[in-house]
Amino acid sequence: MTAPPAASSGIVIGLSAVVVAVRDGEVVVLTVRPHDAITDIASPLPGLPFGPFDPEGHRTFELALRAFVTEQTRFQLGYVEQLYTFGDKGRDAPRAEVGAGAARVVSIGYLGLTPKATDTQAPDTAWAPWTRFFPWEDWRAGRPALLDEAIAPALRRWAGDDADRLSRARLAFALDGAPWNEERVLERYELLYEAGLAPEAARDRARADGHDPAEPVALSAALGEPMISDHRRILATGLSRLRGKIKYRPVAFELMTAEFTLSALQRTVEAIAGVPLHKQNFRRVVEREDLVEGLGRLDSETGGRPAELFRFRREILGARQAGGLSLPLLRE
């Protein structure tokens, strides 16, 4: 009888967590610096919380994920949903290995949302702004200058006379007047990776050839900071999913405290989407969806004119299919 594939090929199932919060108006993600299994030295690059799934000891993937995230970061996960399965050969870096001697690591990514970026005090754990890894994704103050100053010229050099490459770069990064689509986070990162503009690309090619290169450094501030293994790809997948989902499901409220102002809600949605929103039209969207309820009290800690406090009507989730928040963009 043929042995099961997992046993014969040395496959290990790993679980990775994209844990997101909003702090001071900025999207932040929980990162760790794993220690080398041999030297016990922390990785020079950050990664996402991750760990192995034990078929004998873990009843479900999600329970395993919650357990090792708490163990690594001392942080208790709240809202969680499965993202995607990542299994490209060569993706498992030695310093990110989750199974001793494993020939292949298949990782299942999860997205976790929390209303507060609580400092965990866990060693080698930190909340990092998403813009450190994807600086081109923040359009709240307008089109980022780094797109035209650094990224566009580099992509054009890579594309050369290849019409298909030029078209993909134009559509992904809104070049030559093409519109910006905030949901294409993963597509943009993978294009930079293919073009050799993501520093992880050279490292992964060397590892696929059997070498053990040092972790890479950022090629430039405009191209973002690298991460261990394929964790920046997983992170891009999480941001893509979240940006899409806020438009059709009320997941933005998983990032809000129990009481909030509509201005705070708008800033949170803008931080996720990376685009500025029209204030009056955004409030009309919130009212139309009937997702919040006024509490009849004012928030006096805003530093300006007191604003009314609201709560998310969570009870509607069991009564009907609740919609999300469309993005009424602020046009110049």
pLDDT tens, residue by residue, 251-300: 999 999 999 999 999 999 999 999 999 999 999 999 998 999 999 999 87
- The distance of Cα 187 from the centroid of its chain, to the nearest Å, equals 13
Name the pLDDT band for 1 (thresholds 50, 70, 90): very low
Residues 9, 81 within the same domain = yes
Last residue of a domain, one of 194, 226, 258: 226
Share of the chain above pLDDT 70, in %: 90
Torsion-angle region of 324 (φ positive above 0: left; ψ -120 to 50: alpha; else: beta): beta
User: In CATH, what number is assigned to the domain containing residue 290?
Assistant: 1.10.10.10
User: In CATH, what number is assigned to the domain containing residue 70?
Assistant: 3.90.79.10
pLDDT tens, residue by residue, 198-245: 999 999 999 888 888 989 999 999 999 999 989 999 999 999 999 999
Residue 188 lies inside a defined structural domain of this protein: yes
pLDDT tens, residue by residue, 29-73: 999 999 887 888 999 999 999 988 888 888 899 999 999 899 888
Residues 218, 267 within the same domain = no
How many domains is the chain built from? 3
Contacts of 243 (CB under 8 A, 6+ apart): 182, 183, 185, 272, 273, 274
pLDDT of 304 = 66
Residue 183 lies inside a defined structural domain of this protein: yes
pTM of the model: 0.90
Flag whether pLDDT at 125 surpasses 80.
Answer: yes
Residues 118, 149 within the same domain = no
